[in-house]
Amino acid sequence: MTHDHKPPRQPLFWAALAFSTGLWVGVRAWRPPSWWAIAVLAFVLAAWWFVPRRAWMAKSLSLGTWILLGAFLIQVRGGQAADPQILELADRREVTLTAHVIREGYARAAGPRSTRESIDVETEELESEGQSRPLRAGVRLTVYEQVENSEGVKRRASSPGGDAGGVETWAGDAPVPPLTYGTRLRIRAKLHPARNFRNPGAFDYEGYLQDNGISVLGSAQAQQIERLAGFSGSRIELWRTRVHASIVARIHQLWPAGEASLMDAMVLGEDSFLRNATRTEFQRSGTYHVLVVSGMNLSILAVAIFWTLRQFRLDPVLAAITTVVVSFAYALVVGVGAPVWRAALMLAIYLGARLLYRERNMLNAIGAAALGVLIADPHSLFGASFQLTFLAVFVIAAIGAPILEQTTLPYARGLRLLRAASYDLHVAPKVAQFRLDLRMIGGRLARFLGKRTGLALPAIFMRITIGLGELVFMSALMQAGLALLMAYHFHRATTMGLPANLAVIPLTEVLMPAAAAAVGMGYVSTTLAKPAVWVSSFALEGIAGTVHWLGGARVADLRVAMPSLTMILIAMATLAFAMIAVRRGRMIALGAVAALACVAAWIAFVPSRPHIRAGVMEMTSIDVGQGDSILLVTPEGRVLLVDAGGLPLWMHSDFDIGEQVVSSYLWNRGIDHIDTVVISHPHADHLGGMPAVMANFHPRELWISVDRPEGELLPVVAQAQKAGIEISVKKEGDEFDYGGAHFHVLAPGRDQDTGAMRPNDDCLVFTASVGSAAALLEGDAERVVEQRIVEEHPEATVLKVAHHGSATATSADLLATLHPRYAIISVGVRNVYGHPRREVLARLEQAGVKTYRTDEEGAVSFYLDGKSVTPEVALIQ
């Protein structure tokens, strides 16, 4: 594979790469902004001086200038710290806010007779204990509303885009103001600061909120909200939110609820009505980019608009300008961030270059779009959305397109004007021969089908064959190119991405223009919109069916641990090598693509090396809030997980502690397999996250303490049985060695009739020991169980305090018997139960026990080497 011309220049691409490097440097090497500004000025002057003398030095200094500009911008535009005044009042006391809505939400069910709605407000004034003060701060508010019955919940939670000027009613028939953008409100609310789960690798929720201008979180009852006169906010944003809500309402009018939720997401980026199961299927099948509005969705829509306008003989300039304007308006209404704006900017650059007869360089367009997005929001560089969308188009432009340019594209272009023999003189000899062969085949078919059809059939066949081949190649290349980021951000290997995208992408090309036409015509007449609705519904059913079939396959559920630094550097170097190699000859290009595929396969199928200490037993209490999750690693490297945290059922939350906290921590440790999972007792704060953990880490064994699984434990046991996990019931007196550690079960009693009536009395309590060092794990055991433990006279160096520090456990007798040196309390910050109790902390202090708490220290590890214990705190802020 050779080139007869110089490779195109892409200065904006290199500028964007340098600017991104500067953003990364600026985050990690803080210096006064004035230093960066002086350095920028010095580099600019030096580059200007070198331009006529040494061009290569001028170019190098120019790239250095972009690096310095990136560092300067991210430090000048750093996130605003929360106002100390509002943090002082964020202690769950009731305050009165005068505020206006800056982000709307949709009501969701929060119980049989209540709904909840998440909105963002900006405060204007805050009143507490009779004192008022002006205050500007962002608050993410959850509004709860009581309704008369379950039908009211269903109606309230499934009616998007209602009349913004109307009012809803709650159980007491008092008016509830519409929580629309710009509405001024007086709210009686309870505030509290956001807090990250303090585990290595945990999502920075505090930083995410800060980047979005949110200082604290809060909750309020709908009947305690009063609408005030006036409007506050941007009129442009008001227009955007009203158009957005209107389109959502139109979608729910045209399509049934199940289809409408998918249409919301694919067409408008509104994911409020999606089920978690649907998200998971799209993620597992490698088609999640279709579910959320991405650059591909906008590109499909733009092509359809431009093609339609040209069919109506509109001037190319007007068609291009109209397409760009509509695309930018669509990006504004969707409002989902980097992917759509990247596509809109690249579209404008591409069509502008086309109209000006300039070289249309994709890498230059990518660079310009990246610079635009990063200058507007420097912190977007560190988000998965920006990285995935720009890496995807980079792989297409820098690796895929050059290969296709030298392989299939000349033949695809050779299908133009196939009847015109004179056009053969303007193509390469191989392509001219290809055209002659097609005309010969067409001539033979003409005897049976006629001259016109005879030549059209082979041309159509070749167009389909070439198009399908390009789609297969590009899809495979994308899966390989994005393997690193998928593993880094989502811990997934999309093994079914290639076949899924082969079916889903063509269907999306049908769905997007049909859905847009249906919504547009729906404003005129529902009857007029029906044909377009039917077409889009057909495409949607094909997409959903493909995703459900392939995403539900066992092979699709491949989760991977965090790639090592070495693997990250190798993957990045391979991408850079592939970009250069595709322009250096056929064999080198093939070698580069093969290397990229090998790296992707390595990331997906070769296990990472877990970060564990050999020869010692580790006990780590993972910060899961108000719950329990204990990681045990034996001296021989066997991995056990005792409980997996979880949220109480009454919270009706979609947040999965097992997936988003416990699994995230384990993957960050390089752990991709668990040997044994243990459920101490069937309470949601201990087993709620276990289904996700079992699905992600495929344990061989499950230990439980009850003879008859009931209630919340029953579906977990059923999942284990379906997955072929061996279930073992442990009882008092069981002793065994496992992975170089000794286990001794102290409860529940062998003669105890375990069930679901009093789960805390059925707790699986055991010691895990190495040599003379032991850890006692009590679960939520209470006094009755502890009395039986005392009778066994065990000793333990480390105590996992029972029931999160409840007063019903951790008796003085138990401490006197165990003689622990260290204790760990797994407890949530500001929990409603008042754990840990002061008297429990006092008893531990009196016994000379060094006590750690996950709400204060985050994840805490203890390393037992057989003689001593070494505690370590994660120190995650």
> Per-residue pLDDT tens for 822-867?
999 999 998 888 899 999 999 999 999 999 999 999 999 999 999 9
SS3 863: strand
Burial 376-402 (b: 16+ CB within 10 A, else e): ebbbbbbbebbbbbbbbbbbbbbbbbb
Instruction: Give the number of other Cβ atoms within 10 Å of residue 165's Cβ.
Output: 7
H or E element, residue 702: strand 701-704
- Residues near 424 by beta carbon (within 8 Å), at least 6 away in sequence: 432, 435, 436
The CATH classification of domain 617-873, taken from the options 3.40.50.1820, 1.10.530.10, 3.60.15.10, 3.40.50.1240: 3.60.15.10
Which tokens hold the place of 131?
Answer: 């004192």
Best mean pLDDT range from 414-418, 584-588, 668-672: 668-672
Q: How far apart are CA 833 and CA 705, in angstroms?
A: 25
User: Over 50: is that where the pLDDT of 575 sits?
Assistant: yes
Predicted pLDDT at 639: 97
What's the mean per-residue pLDDT of the chain?
A: 87
Q: How many residues does the structure list for the chain?
A: 877
Q: How far apart are CA 486 and CA 560, in angstroms?
A: 9
Predicted pLDDT at 175: 45
**Identity at 835, one-letter amino acid code:** H
Cβ pair 16, 371 in contact under 8 A: yes
Overall average pLDDT of the 229-235 stretch: 90
Q: How far apart are CA 264 and CA 255, in angstroms?
A: 10
Cβ pair 634, 666 in contact under 8 A: no
Burial of 313 (0-12, 13-18, 19+ CB in 10 A): exposed
Overall average pLDDT of the 562-567 stretch: 92
Degrees to nearest 5, angle at CA 321 with 320 and 325: 120
Predicted pLDDT at 139: 95
Report residue 165's pLDDT band, with 50, 70 and 90 as the boundaries.
very low
H or E element, residue 87: helix 84-88
Strand pairing category for 735-738 and 726-729: unpaired
Residue in this structure with the two tokens 């009613």, named with its chain if needed: 169
Higher local confidence (pLDDT), 426 or 848: 848
Q: For residue 690, how many C-alpha atoms fall within 13 Å in the half-sphere facing its CB? A: 35
Kindly write down the DSSP assignment for every residue of 150-203, as one continuous string: HHHHHHHHT-TT--TT--EE-TT--EE----TTEEEEEEEEEE------STT--
Report residue 131's pLDDT band, with 50, 70 and 90 as the boundaries.
confident
pTM for this predicted structure: 0.87
Overall average pLDDT of the 320-335 stretch: 89
**Identity at 511, one-letter amino acid code:** L
Sign, CA dihedral 443-449-451-457, equals negative
Cβ pair 732, 749 in contact under 8 A: yes
- How confident is the model over 117-126, as pLDDT tens digits? 899 999 999 9
Cβ pair 706, 754 in contact under 8 A: yes
Cβ pair 122, 132 in contact under 8 A: no
Q: How far apart are CA 82 and CA 728, in angstroms?
A: 50
User: Over 50: is that where the pLDDT of 167 sits?
Assistant: no
Least confident of 45-49, 444-448, 546-550, 665-669: 444-448
Q: For residue 511, how many C-alpha atoms fall within 13 Å in the half-sphere facing its CB? A: 29
Angle at which helix 55-76 crosses helix 11-28, to 10 degrees, equals: 50
Q: How far apart are CA 568 and CA 161, in angstroms?
A: 44
Cβ pair 271, 549 in contact under 8 A: no
Q: How far apart are CA 875 and CA 856, in angstroms?
A: 9
Q: How far apart are CA 139 and CA 848, in angstroms?
A: 43
**Which of 378, 386, 381, 383 is closest to 73 using CA atoms?**
378
- How confident is the model over 16-73, as pLDDT tens digits? 999 999 999 988 888 888 888 899 899 999 989 888 888 888 889 999 999 999 999 9
Q: Does domain 84-233 have CATH number 2.40.50.140?
A: yes
Q: For residue 355, how many C-alpha atoms fall within 13 Å in the half-sphere facing its CB? A: 15
**Which of 318, 306, 323, 372 is closest to 345 using CA atoms?**
372
Kindly write down the DSSP assignment for every residue of 204-270, as one continuous string: -HHHHHHHTT--EEEEEEEEEEEEEEEE-S-HHHHHHHHHHHHHHHHHHHHS-HHHHHHHIIIII--
Residue in this structure with the two tokens 């010969």, named with its chain if needed: 440
Q: How far apart are CA 297 and CA 536, in angstroms?
A: 14
Which tokens hold the place of 41?
Answer: 């000025």
In DSSP terms, 51 is beta-bridged to none
Domain segments of the chain as ranges? 11-76, 84-233, 240-394+500-560, 565-605, 617-873
Higher local confidence (pLDDT), 559 or 9: 559
Which tokens hold the place of 648?
Answer: 């109480």
Angle at which helix 586-605 crosses helix 565-581, to 10 degrees, equals: 160
Which tokens hold the place of 590?
Answer: 């093939």
**Identity at 124, one-letter amino acid code:** E
Which tokens hold the place of 543?
Answer: 């997409």
Cβ pair 399, 579 in contact under 8 A: yes
Predicted pLDDT at 877: 54
